């Protein structure tokens, strides 16, 4: 069975700093997708970034980038130039190629302060 | 462009009462799903549907029923509410069940069972 582990329940960072959120997963499958979702206090779930396991190049979306280490089964999210609006809970998620298993980690609460 | 619409946003029930959480999407998505979010637990899949007339159980289906009579709607029914069902419920949809189809989430329903 697949699992997703986020080992940092809470993190805090100052505005303009860089922060990295950790995510590890376990699977025996060879191809799959990994996602980071953001949930601000409004409760809305927002897709931040996604990475296909076959692609070696790390995904980047503006200030958000990932460090995907397939062999180590690690998928960390780096937020550069942190902004107050980045304050949210962040979920790492895994989905297998057949689409039969979409699993979320337990989340990391990120607080950005001025 | 409404996306995924969930109603109600908040609901309080007494133990033993029944109710239906509504979910509708206007994107002609084939795949729809229900998750519950509990503190420290991430999101857990309750039920999902890969198309009209087809539903299946997820990780935590007990106490919940679903049906999918149309592509647009995917209601979640609680037949006899229990305090353990106090949670935030999210409906999500995607183009299909393919692993590269990102999920679109509704804004959630906060349910309290007393």
Contact B85, B113 (CB under 8 A): yes
> For B4-58, what is each residue's pLDDT tens digit?
999 999 999 999 999 999 999 999 999 999 999 998 888 999 999 999 999 999 9
Of the candidates A45, A96, A97, which has its C-beta nearest B105's C-beta?
A45
% chain A with pLDDT above 70: 98
pLDDT for B67: 96
pLDDT for A1: 76
pLDDT for B89: 97
Instruction: Supply φ then ψ for residue A24, to 5 degrees.
Output: -125, 155
Q: What is the mean pLDDT of chain A?
A: 93
> For A11-64, what is each residue's pLDDT tens digit?
999 999 999 999 999 999 888 999 999 999 989 999 999 999 998 899 999 999
- The rounded distance, in Å, linking the Cα atoms of B106 and B25 is 9
Of the candidates A43, A98, A102, which has its C-beta nearest B45's C-beta?
A102
> For B56-94, what is each residue's pLDDT tens digit?
999 899 999 999 999 999 999 999 999 999 999 999 999
Measured in angstroms, the CA of B33 and the nearest CA of chain A are apart by: 11
pLDDT at A109 over 90: yes
pLDDT for A70: 94
Contacts of B99 in chain A (CB under 8 A): 31-33, 95-99
pLDDT for B1: 63
Distances (CA, A) of A108 to A5, A48, A111, B61, B73: 10, 14, 10, 26, 32
**Residue A77, strand partner residues:** A21, A66
pLDDT at B102 over 90: no
Rg, chain A, Cα only? 14
Q: Is the dihedral of CA B31, B66, A45, B8 positive or negative?
A: positive
Distances (CA, A) of B34 to A47, A58, A102, B29, B97: 17, 30, 12, 14, 14
DSSP states along A77-114? EEE-S--GGG-EEEEEEEEETTS--EEE---EEEEEE-
Contacts of A96 in chain B (CB under 8 A): 99
């Amino acid at each position: 069975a697949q699992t997703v582990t986020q080992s940092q329940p809470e993190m805090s960072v100052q505005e303009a700093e860089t922060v990295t959120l950790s995510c590890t997963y376990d699977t025996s499958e060879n191809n799959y997708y990994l996602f980071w979702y953001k949930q601000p206090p409004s409760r809305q779930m927002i897709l931040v970034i996604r990475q296909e396991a076959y692609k070696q190049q790390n995904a980047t979306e503006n200030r958000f980038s990932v460090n995907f280490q397939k062999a180590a089964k690690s998928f960390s999210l780096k937020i550069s130039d942190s902004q107050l609006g980045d304050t949210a809970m962040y979920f790492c998620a895994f989905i297998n190629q057949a689409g039969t298993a979409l699993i979320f980690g337990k989340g990391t609460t990120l607080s950005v302060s001025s | 462009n409404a996306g995924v619409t969930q109603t109600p946003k908040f609901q309080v029930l007494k133990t033993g009462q029944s109710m239906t959480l509504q979910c509708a999407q206007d994107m002609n998505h084939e795949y729809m799903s229900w998750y519950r979010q509990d503190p420290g637990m991430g999101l857990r899949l309750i039920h999902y549907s890969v198309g009209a007339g087809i539903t299946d159980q997820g990780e935590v289906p007990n106490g919940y029923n679903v049906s999918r009579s149309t592509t647009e709607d995917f209601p979640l029914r609680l037949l006899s509410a229990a305090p353990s069902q106090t949670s935030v419920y999210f409906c999500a949809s995607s183009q299909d069940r393919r692993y590269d189809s990102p999920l679109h989430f509704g804004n959630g329903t906060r349910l309290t069972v007393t």
